[in-house]
Amino acid sequence: MSKPATALHTVTEHSPPARVRLLDRRNAHADPDDERRALVAGLFAAPAVISPKYFYDDIGCTLFEAICSLPEYYPTRTERAILTTHRDSIVQAVGTGRQFVDLGAGDCAKAALLLPALHARRYVAVDIAEAAIGPALSRLTPVFPRVEFMGVVTDFSRRLDLGGAIDAGPVTFFYPGSSIGNFTPDEALSLLRRVRDLCGPESGLLIGVDTKKDKARLDAAYNDTLGVTAAFNLNVLNHVNILADCDFKPAGFAHVAFYEPIKGRVEMHLESRHLQRVRVGGRERVFVEGERIHTENSYKYHPGEFADLLASAGFTELRVWQDDAGDFAVFYAS
């Protein structure tokens, strides 16, 4: 699960403190009407598809934070443990006093683990949702009074436009949570190359990656017993209703998630419980019983596979840290 930003959005205002500069780049390179047409086209496709970037309205952000605390969802706590246990080694590899760009920042909690040791001179939170980064930056600014805080709302999955938020000095890009897994390997390579193009001397990428493992554990991670992930998946229909003139009834769909070992990815779908007619963009879309809407992929990588991907993107020096069980990996690439 990840949080690529989008030009098409609905948010509640969450104003950051006065000393935080917030840049909204959502419409800098994308026409909202084009985004809406693409969303509608995806729903009329066979099979139907909704981009995971539409998970993250205000309710979706709250549900995602809850998912990260679930006992079945190991990636968040495992990555946090790696960042804590190996913090000194990571800081030595990354260096101090740099600009720190947090891609898909969310509540900024993982960056907060490193900021005291990194002594970053500037922290840039980049996310899909202003509703997430506004409150997070409000919490961080009094804790780190010497850090310059900025927020950028932009679709970095399409174009890494930070709107002048960083200067020519060294920068560390931070992409935690295995969010890179929401892209196909080819898409991931393209994004990694865009990051590499912005890395000058003494710059690099610190990135978290979920590893391939037993199917039962991966299936459980995306099918928690409390049903939070199911609620998160179904809520995308409420968001789509607002964005694309639809009248989906979430109760008419079921959450489906499973690991596909041949493709090396977890897939999430919404399955129609019965024959139903839905208004989509002012037109009628019929979903038969059992028909699915594909909402997310989450690719998993063996450490060697991801090291090869980083090398293909142009990174030449790699460090990797893992937990004892090998469930998760954190790479620093420069």
- Per the CB < 8 A criterion, the answer to whether 58 and 66 are in contact is no
Distance CA 134, CA 234 (A): 25
Q: What is the pLDDT of residue 156?
A: 82
Q: What is the pLDDT of residue 228?
A: 99
Nearest alpha-carbon partner for 259 in 291, 296, 233: 296
Distance CA 99, CA 170 (A): 6
Q: What is the pLDDT of residue 135?
A: 83
Buried b (16+ CB within 10 A) or exposed e, 77-94: bbbbebbeebbeebeebb
Domains of the chain: 21-30+73-213+300-333 (3.40.50.150)
Buried b (16+ CB within 10 A) or exposed e, 38-66: ebbebbeeeebbbbbbbbbbbbbbebbeb
- Per the CB < 8 A criterion, the answer to whether 177 and 208 are in contact is yes
Give 100-116 as a DSSP string: EEEET-TT-HHHHHHHH
pLDDT in tens, the chain (334 residues): 645 433 344 444 445 545 677 777 666 556 778 889 999 999 999 999 999 999 989 899 899 999 999 999 999 999 999 999 999 999 999 999 999 999 988 888 899 999 999 999 999 999 877 777 888 888 898 999 999 999 888 878 877 888 788 899 999 999 999 999 999 999 999 999 999 999 999 999 999 999 999 999 999 999 999 999 999 999 999 999 999 999 999 999 999 999 999 999 999 999 999 999 999 999 999 999 999 999 999 999 999 999 999 999 999 999 999 999 999 999 999 9
CA 108 to chain centre: 12
- Per the CB < 8 A criterion, the answer to whether 330 and 303 are in contact is no
